[in-house]
Amino acid sequence: MNIPNQQKQIAALIDDQVAHIISTEKTTTAEDEAIVGLMPDWMDGFKLLMDTLAPDEFDWLFQEYPGFYRFSKIMEKIAQGCADGLFDDI
């Protein structure tokens, strides 16, 4: 897969941070909450990936970086919650 190094580096850094969270938190809920806490710092980088990568390139990054996959799935759930109006009263 011919993914630019900058995009691979973003996924790898997110993966590293998620792996650290998983190694230190005691429950899945605590892990998810800590991963959500990372999101503001990675919004620009994640947007760059969304703007520059094809779906098959995302799939490759997900296979290579499981923490990046988990981060992305949580981001997807939050986006779906926003679209469904779950956060309208916040």
Asked whether the beta carbons of 66 and 12 are under 8 A apart, the reply is no
What is the domain extent for residue 61?
5-82
pLDDT of residue 90: 63
Model pLDDT for residues 6-52, shown as the tens digit of each residue = 999 999 999 999 999 999 999 999 999 999 999 999 999 999 999 99
Asked whether the beta carbons of 18 and 10 are under 8 A apart, the reply is no
Separation between Cα atoms, residue 72 and residue 84, nearest integer Å: 18
pLDDT of residue 33: 97
Residue 90 resides in a domain: no
Model pLDDT for residues 67-89, shown as the tens digit of each residue = 999 999 999 999 999 888 887 77
Residue 88 resides in a domain: no
Residue 15 resides in a domain: yes
Residue 30 resides in a domain: yes
Question: pLDDT class for 53, splitting at 50, 70, 90?
Answer: very high
Residue 64 resides in a domain: yes
pTM (2 decimals)?
A: 0.91
Residue 13 resides in a domain: yes
pLDDT of residue 85: 87
Number of structural domains (the chain) is 1
